[in-house]
């Protein structure tokens, strides 16, 4: 099927970038900080809301953009801690409906140094997670102009792939689409290790129960093995939920957004190619044979997302 995106007017909103930057940040209060996972989860993930009222940032964020956070202190080398970017998880109209209150989704990073076996804690995620309502934080932004819903969002269907906190931008985008009364199909495929790690579960479940065009596919890697015993991942849903997904993906006005762990990129590309959905991809070199046998290093050089696929993976 030949895609004519020009005819479909894939247009993105004009966004204002870096109204505040690392040399000129703005200090704003934390309005709320709430645990976003189930209380039984060993992971600590918080939904943190900034009060941007009265600043130039009010009303300026679009779902899919990021807010910059400048943690206090210096690095091991004595330099100021660098800026970290966090995807906003609020819709473009903010948590308050007026773009004053925007949120992000932060997982406390705690790990063990593989060589020294010493415990380490991520600087900025732990700084942010420890703040309480009323505490202030230096922020910058908005950042990002490519991972956005199109301006003419009603002309498209959406398939969102998320792992872990990568679901943040999709909460905002789905709220934006719902507010506009979106009529096309929307699918959220969300990967988490355990049920207790699912984020914004009640919002997604409720939205699904109220909207026939919204499909929520939680994918629990360590609890719900596939028929062959392997772990289900967001990309394996291309096979396991083909009956639902293929008729949506084959439409020429469907857009794919991917956010979260880098590892899922290869599997999603392979899954699309295996189902002859290569319109989402651009091949710089031809790749032959079964896509699931393609070498990931060769794939990196040979294939990239096309115009209808947007990636934010780390």
Residues forming the site for ligand NAP (CB under 6 A): 87, 107, 163-166, 168, 191-193, 197, 221-222, 231, 233-235, 259-261, 263-264, 267, 312, 314
Given the complex with ligand NAP, which of 194 and 246 has the nearer CB atom?
Answer: 194
What angle is formed at CA 314 by the lines to CA 293 and CA 73, rounded to 5 degrees?
A: 155
Given the complex with ligand NAP, which of 133 and 263 has the nearer CB atom?
Answer: 263
Given the complex with ligand NAP, which of 3 and 145 has the nearer CB atom?
Answer: 145
**Closest distance between ligand NAP and the C-beta of residue 222, in Å?**
5
Given the complex with ligand NAP, which of 128 and 234 has the nearer CB atom?
Answer: 234
Closest listed residue to residue 152, CA positions, set 256, 255, 13, 17:
13
Going from the C-alpha of 9 to that of each of 3, 121, 152, 154, the distances in angstroms are 12, 45, 8, 11
Closest-approach residue to ligand NAP (CB): 164
How many Å apart are CA 214 and CA 252, to the nearest integer?
Answer: 18
What angle is formed at CA 237 by the lines to CA 110 and CA 184, rounded to 5 degrees?
A: 105
**Closest distance between ligand NAP and the C-beta of residue 289, in Å?**
21
**Closest distance between ligand NAP and the C-beta of residue 268, in Å?**
8
**Closest distance between ligand NAP and the C-beta of residue 105, in Å?**
7
Given the complex with ligand NAP, which of 87 and 254 has the nearer CB atom?
Answer: 87
Report the chain's terminal Cα–Cα distance, integer Å.
Answer: 32
**Closest distance between ligand NAP and the C-beta of residue 233, in Å?**
4
Going from the C-alpha of 134 to that of each of 27, 30, 32, 33, 206, the distances in angstroms are 11, 5, 8, 10, 31
**Closest distance between ligand NAP and the C-beta of residue 264, in Å?**
4
Tally of residues, the chain:
314
Q: Is 143 helix (H, G, I), strand (E, B) or coil?
A: strand
Given the complex with ligand NAP, which of 222 and 226 has the nearer CB atom?
Answer: 222
Going from the C-alpha of 266 to that of each of 38, 96, 305, the distances in angstroms are 30, 38, 11
**Closest distance between ligand NAP and the C-beta of residue 227, in Å?**
17
Given the complex with ligand NAP, which of 36 and 58 has the nearer CB atom?
Answer: 36
Half-sphere exposure of 43 (CA within 13 A, CB side): 20
What stretches of 153-195 show up as alpha helix (H) in DSSP?
168-179
């Amino acid at each position: 099927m030949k895609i004519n995106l020009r005819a479909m007017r894939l247009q993105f909103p004009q966004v204002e970038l870096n109204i505040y930057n690392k040399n000129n940040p703005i200090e704003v209060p934390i309005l709320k900080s709430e645990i976003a996972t189930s209380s039984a989860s060993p992971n600590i993930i918080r939904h943190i809301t900034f009060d941007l009222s009265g600043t130039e940032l009010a009303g300026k964020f679009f779902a899919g953009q990021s807010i910059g956070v400048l943690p206090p202190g210096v690095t091991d080398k004595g330099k100021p801690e660098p800026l970290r970017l966090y995807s906003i998880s609020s819709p473009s109209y903010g948590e308050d409906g007026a773009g004053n209150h925007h949120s992000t989704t932060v997982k406390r990073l705690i790990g063990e140094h593989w060589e020294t076996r010493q415990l380490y804690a991520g600087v900025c995620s732990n700084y942010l997670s420890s703040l309480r309502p009323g505490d202030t934080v230096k922020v910058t932004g908005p950042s990002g102009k490519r991972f956005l819903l199109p301006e003419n969002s009603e002309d498209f269907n959406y398939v969102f792939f998320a792992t872990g906190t990568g679901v943040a931008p999709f909460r905002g985008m789905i709220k934006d689409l719902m507010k506009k009364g979106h009529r096309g199909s929307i699918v959220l495929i969300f990967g988490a290790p355990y049920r207790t790690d699912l984020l914004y579960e009640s919002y997604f479940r409720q939205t699904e129960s109220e909207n026939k065009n919204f499909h929520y596919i939680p994918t629990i890697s360590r609890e719900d093995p596939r028929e062959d015993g392997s772990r289900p991942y967001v990309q394996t849903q291309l096979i396991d939920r083909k009956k639902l997904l293929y008729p949506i993906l084959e439409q020429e006005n469907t857009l794919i957004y991917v956010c979260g762990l880098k590892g899922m990129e290869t599997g999603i590309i392979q899954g699309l190619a295996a189902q002859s959905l290569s319109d989402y991809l651009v091949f710089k070199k031809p790749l032959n044979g079964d896509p699931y046998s393609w070498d990931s290093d060769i794939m990196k050089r040979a294939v990239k997302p096309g115009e209808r696929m947007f990636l934010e993976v780390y």
